[in-house]
């Protein structure tokens, strides 16, 4: 066996990030991906010849590691950067082109749909979080934190609940207040550029999976798609992978957390990790794709159509003129509706907002049932380095380098974890 033979199991954004980081340091890897394509939960889907996404994604300016990765792959040109604007019926918040913290102060002051009391309460809450450096004495549900901080109901409904559900994909009553604070620190309380919204103007496969495959192949890495690793066991000097037979000196496990326990059955030393992950519950995300005969004229590429249970509509003329996606996060009654009824309900919401709609040519619903884990207070997150020397964990659920800055299940959380695994491997190889 060569001196170092790194295997990565899973070609989502975490696995790709780890592979790119290692390849850049002259360590070619062998990556196994069970699906036909790379990308995992952020991938391309074919819709009768149109390249769409498995689910609408949104990036923000604070996604530093994701942007660094995309810079290396040369795909940031596919992102459209816009200053943060949140708009829904009866509410609009827009952050002006001003330096921090004036952008937030003026944004809140000028917000439409909030009373003066709401605005003062929001400013007070943000000042409080800044004073404690966004670190809570103890984690708790977001709803409790907001109640302790005397946040008015209108402010919660218009601002905090939609932000929490969009960022953590978890309802306020269940969501981790500490992770919510981490997101607020990086977005609303960050620089104006950190809070910018970045819209992908190409499908997610082009944004990362395809470019990752090309980049890694050019750097002596081997990428095996349609290649599910069935088991991993310890052998002298490393690990034996089965499914595809492969011997590795180091192995990075980067599957969806729901698939991790099965992979760990051959590694009894990591039974406690499997136990942690087995305690997770999951939250869905529904995306309804609509193709109209003509483009809708949206004043901004992303608009809310109602309260936190209602969808957000995204303009996706980049896919084809007239394409929009409507996204509803987290569990809710919408998932119990027949697909046709949900489509008609969402068309009514669109018509109520934009007037008579152009002819609908086609539609498609994609429900990712395990889009993310439920991001609860103090949820157990395994470290990237495991108890087994040479075995590392990457993925949006892992603890990351700085446990105080833990992210929710996001592209940035996934990419950071992959980069951290690569750094640990490089340090261990020295």
Ligand X SMILES: Cc1cc2nc3c(=O)[nH]c(=O)nc-3n(C[C@H](O)[C@H](O)[C@H](O)COP(=O)(O)OP(=O)(O)OC[C@H]3O[C@@H](n4cnc5c(N)ncnc54)[C@H](O)[C@@H]3O)c2cc1C
Binding site for ligand X (CB under 6 A): 9-15, 32-35, 40-42, 54-55, 57-58, 228-229, 254-256, 259, 263, 285, 287, 368, 371-372, 395-396, 409-414
CB of 249 to ligand X, least distance (A): 19
CB 162 within 8 A of CB 87: no
> To the nearest whole angstrom, how small is the minimum distance from the Cβ of residue 99 to ligand X?
26
Pairing verdict, β 197-200 and 50-53: unpaired
151 or 250: whose CB is closer to ligand X? 250
Q: Among residues 53 and 118, whose Cβ is nearest to ligand X?
A: 53
The DSSP element (H or E) to which 102 belongs, if any, is helix 102-110
Structure tokens at 44: 């391309």
Q: Which two tokens stand for residue 155?
A: 């402010």
Nearer to ligand X among residue 91 and residue 314 (C-beta)? 314
Q: How far is the CB of 68 from ligand X (least distance, A)?
A: 15
CB of 268 to ligand X, least distance (A): 18
Q: What's the sign of the alpha-carbon dihedral 359, 287, 14, 266?
A: negative
Structure tokens at 99: 């330096």
Give me the least distance between CB of 59 and ligand X, in Å please: 6
Torsion sign across C-alpha atoms 329, 334, 339, 343: negative
Which of 256, 343 has the CB closer to ligand X? 256
* Least CB distance to ligand X at residue 359 (A): 27
Nearer Cβ to ligand X, position 287 or 406?
287
Distance CA 165, CA 167 (A): 6
DSSP 405: G
Structural element, H or E, at residue 239: strand 238-242
Q: Which is nearer to ligand X, 411 or 419 (CB)?
A: 411
Q: What is the CA 319 to chain-centroid distance, rounded?
A: 21
Residue 359 per-residue DSSP state: P
- Of 39 and 141, nearer to ligand X (C-beta) is 39
Is 322 or 413 the residue whose CB approaches ligand X more closely? Answer: 413
CB of 92 to ligand X, least distance (A): 21
CB of 60 to ligand X, least distance (A): 8
Cβ neighbours for 46, distance < 8 A, ≥ 6 positions apart: 52
We find the least distance from the C-beta atom of residue 223 to ligand X, in angstroms, to be 11
CB of 85 or CB of 228, closer to ligand X: 228
Residue 220 C-beta: closest distance to ligand X, Å: 20
- 119 vs 381, beta carbon nearer ligand X: 381
* DSSP per residue, 2-31: -S--EEEE--BHHHHHHHHHHHHTT--EEE
Beta bridge partners of 223: 31
Residue 113, phi-psi category: left (phi > 0), alpha (psi -120 to 50), beta (remainder): left
| DSSP secondary structure code for residue 372 in this structure | E
Residue among 181 and 229 whose Cβ is closer to ligand X: 229
d(CA 413, CA 33) in angstroms, rounded, equals 19
SS3 328: strand
CA 384 to chain centre: 18
In this structure, are residues 261 and 402 in contact, taking their beta carbons and an 8 Å threshold? no
**Shortest reach from residue 177's CB to ligand X, in Å:** 20
Cα-based distances in Å from 345 to 56, 171, 207, 252, 351: 19, 22, 31, 44, 10
Nearest residue to 326 via CA among 274, 283, 379, 365: 365
């Amino acid at each position: 066996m060569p001196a170092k033979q790194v295997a990565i199991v899973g070609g989502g954004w975490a696995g790709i990030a780890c592979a790119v980081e290692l390849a850049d340091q002259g360590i070619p890897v062998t990556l196994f991906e069970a699906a036909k394509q790379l990308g995992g939960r952020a991938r391309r889907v074919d819709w009768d010849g149109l390249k769409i996404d498995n689910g609408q994604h949104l990036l923000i300016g604070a996604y530093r590691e994701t942007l660094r990765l995309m810079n290396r792959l040369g795909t940031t040109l596919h992102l459209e950067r816009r200053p943060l604007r949140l708009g829904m019926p009866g509410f609009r918040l827009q952050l002006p082109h001003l330096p921090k913290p004036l952008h937030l102060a003026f944004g809140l002051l000028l917000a439409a749909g909030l009373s003066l009391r709401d605005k003062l309460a929001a400013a007070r809450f943000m000042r409080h979080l800044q004073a404690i450096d966004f670190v809570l004495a103890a984690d708790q549900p977001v709803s409790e934190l907001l109640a302790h901080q005397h946040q008015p109901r209108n402010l919660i409904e218009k601002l905090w609940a939609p932000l929490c559900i969009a960022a953590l994909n978890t309802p306020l009553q269940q969501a981790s207040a500490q992770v919510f604070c981490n997101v607020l620190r990086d977005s609303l309380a960050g620089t104006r550029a950190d809070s910018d919204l970045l819209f992908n103007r190409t499908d997610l496969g082009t944004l990362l999976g395809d470019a990752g495959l090309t980049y890694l192949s050019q750097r002596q890495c081997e990428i095996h798609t349609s290649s599910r690793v069935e088991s991993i066991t310890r052998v002298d000097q490393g690990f034996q992978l089965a499914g595809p037979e492969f011997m590795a000196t180091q192995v990075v496990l980067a599957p969806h957390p729901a698939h991790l326990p099965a992979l760990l059955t051959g590694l009894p030393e990591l039974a406690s990790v499997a136990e942690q992950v087995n305690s997770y519950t999951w939250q869905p995300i529904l995306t309804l794709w609509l193709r109209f005969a003509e483009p809708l004229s949206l004043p901004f590429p992303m608009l809310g159509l109602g309260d936190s249970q209602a969808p957000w509509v995204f303009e996706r003329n980049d896919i084809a003129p007239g394409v929009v996606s409507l996204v509803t996060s987290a569990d809710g009654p919408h998932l119990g509706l027949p697909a046709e009824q949900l489509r008609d309900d969402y068309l009514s919401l669109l018509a109520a907002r934009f007037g008579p709609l152009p002819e609908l040519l086609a539609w498609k619903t994609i429900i990712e049932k395990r889009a993310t884990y439920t991001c609860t207070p103090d949820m157990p997150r395994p470290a990237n380095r495991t108890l087994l020397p040479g075995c590392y964990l990457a993925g949006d659920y892992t603890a990351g380098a700085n446990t105080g800055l833990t992210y929710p299940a996001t592209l940035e959380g996934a990419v950071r974890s992959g980069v951290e695994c690569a750094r640990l491997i490089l340090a261990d190889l020295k």
